[in-house]
Chains A and B, each alone.
Chain A
Amino acid sequence: MLLTAGGGGLADFWRDVSYGNFDNRGTRIGGWYRMPQTTAQYSALGRWPKVDACLAAAQAPGPDALVVPSGAIRYVVTFPSVDMFGWAGGAFLPWDVDVGGIAHEGGHGIGLDHSFSNDPNYRNADWAQIGEYDDPWDAMSWANSFIASTPFGAAPSGLVAHHLDRMGWLPRSRIRVHGSDGAAETVYTLAPINQPGLPGALLVRIPYDPGDLFRYYTIELRTRTGWSAGIPGDAVLIHEVKRGMEGGSPAGPQIVWLQRDLSRADKAPTRELNANGVEISVLSVSSTQATVRVRSQIAQRCLQGFVWREARPEDHVCVTGAERSDTRTENQLGPSRRAGGGPFGPDTCLIGFVWREAYPGDHVCVPLPSRTRAAQSNSAAASRANPARMVFGPNTCRPGFVWREADDYDWICVPPATRTDTSNENSLAASRRQPGGGAFGPNTCRPGFVWREAYPGDVVCVPGPSRTRASADNATASSRLAID
């Protein structure tokens, strides 16, 4: 169930939903180990003591002692059943767990959080927050997830697109950010997230808050096939993705919230959304694609720290708050700075003042430095506008780092020089392979080169230090992300 691909179990679930990016091969199993405690004694332990006692038993000297590699994900399985929980790095499971249970707890093990809905009246259990576990399309709402039947029991129908995005399993080229091209309205064709070989976007991020670039809506399509064959119907899912608040500021990881139509008795996923300056309308849904119209003004908004200048009502050049304030004052003082006619007509300025020229025909009289500043702001306008250009999702790098982009799925953050090197290595790949292949097949490297292994299956031939660097960059990946 855990390890063998092709049997319809956990390995297949992860392989399919991750598009081959999650690979169970190499997993090691130790045990069974007999615990020194009775079942009652063991059950009475707290959760971390349960884990620690298990690890101690597994690592105790003896022929079956298990060495637990640093950084490995650990699944602890007990007989009889004692408890079930997960943490970032592992999961604690009963012996008779089904695929869904281990996928959910294993999802925590790789860093995923529970999914929620926007229903303010939904509380799944007394241990749940409002809306928590109310996304049946997502394994991270298990056991409240729609299921597929497998030889090993029920499995989830999949993961929602934001969770794939968070894990870096979506190819960069299949994601769109609404407004990043400057358009206010776009009709998107979506491919089913569970049929990624079909044409269309797999995920669209729709940002709306210039003050929080990690807050946006997402749209995705799920169809009734494969692991999702049992879902009620083909559906476009709209989610809101946002972080929690700490001390009045967004903090922590992004959490995904399914947007239900709360006016319907069945609270089905909404097909229309009009909130936060965003309009989303599902136009069509089929078993192979969906079309969705999105409108928002995010492309016209300013980056955080800037506001519209409003030298006239339609002046949306982004400036500092101080410049806008000065501009308003200039507009008020403008008439008093006119000479009452002169060589430049009725708008001729008094000596010491010039036309501002913030826009063509702007004859407000200002001191020369104000005109200079307006011209500079006009030149900088593009760089200060459209926050959608800066929305890079859950794998946004901290300042000073960029994505390595060894391939379209490579979201590892590295210094810019490393990305340049990586691009060069890709360009040189063919010239560094052994002509005609060799001991390692057609991708055998020439002497002096080795496979880079930046990601599973990366057989680009590079000098040895490049492979070492790629491995080190992978190991430090999470510390270089902008958010948890």
Chain B
Amino acid sequence: MATAQILLVIAVAAMQPGPARPEPKPRIARISEEVALQRLRVAGVTDVRIVRRDSASVVLEGRVEGRRLLMRMDGTTGKVVSANDPARVIVPTGRPMGATVVLPQPIERDRIADPVLMREATRSPR
């Protein structure tokens, strides 16, 4: 019989205290067709189209490693498997999807607040 295990993370980042017992937010959203297409493109799948969707998943067709493939995307986790071979994971969760993001260089917060950046920000018609 499995028992649950938990990990507790205490983040000390500044926050605004809320009510003593705020209501939990419901849950995360379902992935729309618009976002499903974008997710697959980021994962390197090309020529993607929506075939159909139901409440729990989106069925898509696209080109993976040069071959057309019918895929099923989990509607909330975004995990993508082959529709005909669910054991074949096309896009995993919790791991890189295609090319890893190029991280932006952090910018000094004082630099962002430089008033010089606002010199040309507004123009009123004469």
Contact = CB atoms under 8 A, between A and B. Distances in A.
Interface of A: 2, 8, 12, 14-16, 19-24, 26-39, 42-43, 47-48, 54-55, 57-58, 66, 68-69, 71-80, 82, 84-89, 92, 95-98, 101, 104-106, 108-111, 113-114, 124-125, 127-128, 132-134, 136, 141-155, 171-174, 176, 181, 183, 185-191, 194-201, 225-227, 229-232, 266, 407-409, 456-457, 474-475, 477-478
Interface of B: 1-19, 21-32, 34-35, 38-39, 41-43, 55, 76-78, 92-104, 106-125
A475 B14 CA distance: 9
A380 B23 CA distance: 46
A72 B10 contact: yes
Given A154-B97, A229-B102, A142 B28 contact: yes
B9 A2 contact: yes
A125 B39 contact: no
Given A143-B78, A149-B43, A189-B123, 6 more contacts: A27-B9, A85-B27, A144-B29, A173-B114, A186-B123, A231-B38
Tell which of A22, A174, A227 has the most Cβ of chain B within 10 Å: A174
List 4 A-B pairs, minimum CB-CB distance, nearest first. Answer: A88-B18, A133-B29, A226-B104, A171-B113
A151 B102 CA distance: 11
A196 B113 CA distance: 9
B8 A29 contact: yes
Contacts of B25: 85-87, 105, 108, 113-114
A65 B66 CA distance: 53
22 contacts: A2-B9, A8-B103, A24-B11, A27-B13, A31-B8, A71-B17, A73-B12, A74-B10, A76-B9, A85-B25, A92-B24, A110-B15, A111-B15, A127-B26, A147-B97, A150-B96, A176-B122, A187-B122, A189-B121, A199-B120, A201-B121, A409-B109
Nearest to A200: B121
Nearest to B102: A229
B24 to A, nearest CB: 4
Contacts of A75: 8-11
Contact of B8 (A66, A88, A475): A66
Given A124-B32, A154-B93, A31 B2 contact: no
Nearest to A67: B10
Contacts of B112: 19, 171, 174, 196-197
Given A185-B125, A199-B121, A78 B3 contact: no
Contact of B113 (A54, A106, A408): A408
